[in-house]
Amino acid sequence: MVEIKICFGTLCFIMGGAAFEMLGEHLPEEIRNKVRVEGMNCPGFCHKAEFGKPPFVMVNQTLIAEANIQKVIAKVREELSHGANQ
């Protein structure tokens, strides 16, 4: 199972994180049952430049900055292709 955690902090929401509310509908059918999506409280990544810019999403233990649905799906596919969490 690939774990996706979406930051629900205000800045992430304003910077595009609102689009992740519909992430489940955008996941391809063949990977939907291999993914668990949940929200997370703001981890404070936006306060440190080395992490990049919001919105932030974690896919397993990998942080995605300036996240969008395409980046998240690509990372999920990468995780699955490496045999992780199948």
Domain count, the chain: 1
| Alpha-carbon torsion, ordered 18, 23, 26, 30, to 10 deg | 170
Q: Which residue type occupies 72?
A: V
What the block records as the tokens of 84 is 């992780």
Return the bridge partners of 14, or none.
none
Domain of 37 in residue numbering reads as: 7-58
**How far is it, in rounded angstroms, from Cα 39 to Cα 37?**
7
The verdict on residue 64 lying in a domain is: no
pTM exceeds 0.85, yes or no: yes
Tokens describing residue 52: 């990049």
pLDDT tens digit sequence for 2-61: 999 999 999 999 999 999 988 988 999 999 999 999 999 999 998 899 999 999 999 999
Q: What is the DSSP letter of 44?
A: S
